[in-house]
Amino acid sequence: MKYEIKTAIIFSIIIVGIVVGLSTIFSLFETSQTSFKTEVEDTSADLQNIDKSSFKMAPDLVGIAQYINTTPEELTKRIEGKVVLYDFWTYSCINCIRTLPYIIAWSEKYADDGLLIIGIHSPEFEFEKDLNNVETAVEKYGITYPVVLDNEMKTWKAFENRYWPRKYIADYEGYIRYDHIGEGAYEQTEKVIQDLLEERASQLGLNVASAESLVELEEFEHTNFRTPELYFGYSFATGRNQLGNIEGFNPETDVKYSLPEDLQLHYYYLEGTWKNLKGSMKLVSEEGRIKLPFFAKEVNIVAANNTVLDVFLDGKPISSEYAGTDVVSGKIQTQDAGLYNIIKTKEASSHMLEIIVTNPGFEVYTLTFG
């Protein structure tokens, strides 16, 4: 009898335990659901009560010379109520070019959700004001979003900008909510786009699915220590003069340069007669040379006028191991004014670059490094 009583008591305890356990589980489940609902409601409330008094409004696009992929009237309508990414760029800027794959991908991914990208092409050099040159670049890089030519830099000044590239993102009401200078921060930038599109959808009562995945592209990794950008125009070289010849600059004058025996790292040296122009050097003699010791894994030249450049590295014709994308059999054929890739390698190292030019009229603006 005692055994039966003990058994009954044990079963009773087990049943009570099961009931209490199930009750606790259901209680936790209900609490979890309530907490999730409250969190969503709080987030929605936050989106509707953002204090924007500290944000600046995006300026109007002013002084625009030409429009690509749009018209003035169409662009004005498209801006209204959209999250707008303003990309300040210029087509011969290597830093700008490296950001384009991300910007193009964002346009394709988020355009239907309310994102509008506007490329504000603000030229650094005179040839970048030419509509045909910019249209060629837009087609080359596959840009389908609107691009405006800010040739007089009036929109640049309205934004108080001083850098290439630079991205401003304005919310659907026109307040600038994000600002990034230079390359990089792609993940952070895209998350801002997602947040502002979500905010727009919440405010306007739209059903837009939250995009959690981010664009994945191979990002260019800069060398921490590398040769800085080298300018050939006397105006651009002010304060950053790295012309190594003792003849130096002589504005608007034909100067005969001779190569010295000792060449210093991060400086460029000329041979031949070159006309000193505000933004460039123009070859006057039948032949000319550009020589420089550098440290980098990538070298680009911004040049103009149709000619063939013979490229030598460490005293020998450049090999396929180091040849950039615009080098064919040790030579670069320059045609349209723009940027040409001379050297492209995986690891940065020190070398002596020599470029031989045999066409008077050739112009060189800058050498850039990565």
Strands 115-121 and 83-89, by their bridges, are parallel
pLDDT at 34 over 70: no
Spatial distance between the Cα atoms of 69 and 146, rounded to a whole number of angstroms: 5
Please name the residues in contact with 360: beta carbons below 8 A apart, sequence gap of 6 or more.
Answer: 283, 284, 285, 286
The pLDDT, as a whole number, for residue 50 is: 83
The pLDDT, as a whole number, for residue 224 is: 85
Mean of all residue pLDDT scores within the chain? 89
Strands (E), 171-304: 176-181, 230-231, 254-257, 269-276, 281-283, 288-304
Tokens of 363: 């112009």
pLDDT at 107 over 70: yes
CA nearest neighbour of 220 among 353, 99, 91, 85:
99
| CB neighbourhood size of 369 (10 A) | 21
Reported as a pLDDT band with limits 50, 70 and 90, residue 223 is confident
pLDDT at 165 over 70: yes
User: Using an 8 Å Cβ cutoff, are 172 and 82 in contact?
Assistant: yes
Task: Kindly report which listed range (41-45, 166-170, 218-222, 248-252) carries the lowest average pLDDT score.
Answer: 41-45
Overall average pLDDT of the 225-229 stretch: 95
CATH class assigned to 230-369: mainly beta
Amino acid at 326: D
Q: What is the DSSP string of 111-142?
A: GGGTEEEEEEE--SSGGGG-HHHHHHHHHHHT
Spatial distance between the Cα atoms of 219 and 228, rounded to a whole number of angstroms: 20
Overall average pLDDT of the 136-157 stretch: 98
Tokens of 290: 């550009």
Q: Do domains 66-204 and 230-369 have the same CATH topology?
A: no
Reported as a pLDDT band with limits 50, 70 and 90, residue 68 is very high
User: Using an 8 Å Cβ cutoff, are 295 and 349 in contact?
Assistant: yes
pLDDT at 352 over 60: yes
CA nearest neighbour of 147 among 130, 122, 168, 124:
122
Domain limits, the chain: 66-204, 230-369
pLDDT (tens digit, 9 = 90+) per residue, 39-55?
233 334 455 568 898 99
Overall average pLDDT of the 62-85 stretch: 98
Angle between helix axes 186-204 and 94-110 (nearest 10 degrees) is 30
Please, which residues bridge with residue 149 across strands?
66, 121
Half-sphere exposure of 117 (CA within 13 A, CB side): 26
Angle at Cα 305 formed by Cα 302 and Cα 311, nearest 5°? 60
The pLDDT, as a whole number, for residue 207 is: 79
Task: Kindly report which listed range (27-31, 271-275, 285-289) carries the lowest average pLDDT score.
Answer: 27-31
The pLDDT, as a whole number, for residue 210 is: 66
The pLDDT, as a whole number, for residue 209 is: 66
User: Using an 8 Å Cβ cutoff, are 310 and 356 in contact?
Assistant: yes
Helical ranges in the chain per DSSP H: 2-48, 72-79, 94-110, 131-141, 154-158, 186-204
Reported as a pLDDT band with limits 50, 70 and 90, residue 222 is confident
Amino acid at 64: I
The pLDDT, as a whole number, for residue 252 is: 98
The pLDDT, as a whole number, for residue 84 is: 98
pLDDT at 18 over 70: no
The pLDDT, as a whole number, for residue 161 is: 98
Using CB atoms within 10 Å of the CB of residue 82, give its burial: 0 to 12 exposed, 13 to 18 middle, 19+ buried: buried
Please give the span between the terminal C-alpha atoms of the chain, in angstroms, as a whole number: 91
The pLDDT, as a whole number, for residue 251 is: 97
User: Using an 8 Å Cβ cutoff, are 83 and 202 in contact?
Assistant: no
Angle at Cα 369 formed by Cα 363 and Cα 370, nearest 5°? 150
pLDDT at 330 over 60: yes
pLDDT (tens digit, 9 = 90+) per residue, 167-212?
999 999 999 999 999 999 999 999 999 999 999 999 999 976 666 7
Spatial distance between the Cα atoms of 126 and 113, rounded to a whole number of angstroms: 37
pLDDT (tens digit, 9 = 90+) per residue, 275-302?
999 999 999 999 999 999 999 999 999 9
Q: Topology of 66-204 in CATH? A: Glutaredoxin (3.40.30)
